[in-house]
A and B are shown apart, each in its own frame.
Chain A
C-alpha cells in the first residue's frame, strides 16, 4: 500500500503570509498532483508534476517534485483569503498492484484571515 503523509493538517494564517505544505512518502510515484477543494464540491486539479526535481509555478503557487519522486511541496506566497480551502496531494502508483492508482494524502485545511 502506498501512503502519502501530508503536513500540516491544519494551517491558519494572516493575509500576506507565506506557507508551505508538504507531501511525503516512502514510495515512488509516476506523478503527483495537487488539488484544491471547496466545501461541497469535488477536488479541482491545480497541477501535475511528473519529472523528479520538477518545479512548476501557478501565479503565487509553487509546486516542487522531489528528485526521487517520493515527495512534493506546495508553497504559497502572500496568501489571500481566497486561497482558503482544502489542499490535497495525490500520487499515481508507479507499478505493481498500485499501478495507476490515485492515492491521496490526508489533506491540509488552510484558512487565510483578512
Chain B
C-alpha cells in the first residue's frame, strides 16, 4: 500500500503558468520534504516542514513555495515555471528528525514545461 502519494505522476505546464504539485501521506509523520531531481542527479532539497515549522533552503528560488495545511498534506507551488524547472519532484516524509530517522519517498511527479 502506498504510504506517500504524489499527484499527478506526470504534469505538463506552460512556461510561466502557475502549477501545484501535491503530496499526501498515511504515515502520520511530522516531517515532510520536497526535493527537486534532474536527470541522473541526486535529489536537491528545496524545503522541509518539521510539523508546521517551514524550513527553506538558502538556494531555493523564490519561485518555489510550499503549503502544509495539515499533517497529511503538503503542496509545492511553482509560481512561474521556467524551462529550467522541468524535473522530477519528490516528496518524502520521516517520523522525526532524530537518531535513526528514515525517510519514505513518493513515486515523484515529473514536471514538463512547454
Contact = CB atoms under 8 A, between A and B. Distances in A.
Interface of A: 6, 30-31, 33, 35, 40-45, 48, 50, 86, 88, 90, 92-93, 99-107, 109
10 contacts: A31-B101, A41-B107, A42-B106, A43-B105, A92-B94, A93-B97, A102-B33, A102-B94, A106-B41, A109-B40
A50 B40 contact: no
Interface residues of B, number: 32
A48 to B, nearest CB: 5
Contacts of A30: 98-101
Most buried by B among A42, A90, A101, A107: A42
A40 to B, nearest CB: 7
B95 to A, nearest CB: 10
A42 B89 CA distance: 9
A102 B100 contact: no
Contacts of A86: 40
Given A100-B31, A100-B94, A101-B45, A48 B40 contact: no
Interface in B42-57: 42-45, 48, 50, 55
Contacts of B92: 42, 102
Contacts of B88: 40
Given A30-B98, A88-B42, A99-B97, A41 B33 contact: no
Contact of B48 (A35, A42, A101): A101
A109 B94 CA distance: 25
A92 B97 contact: yes
Contacts of B6: 42
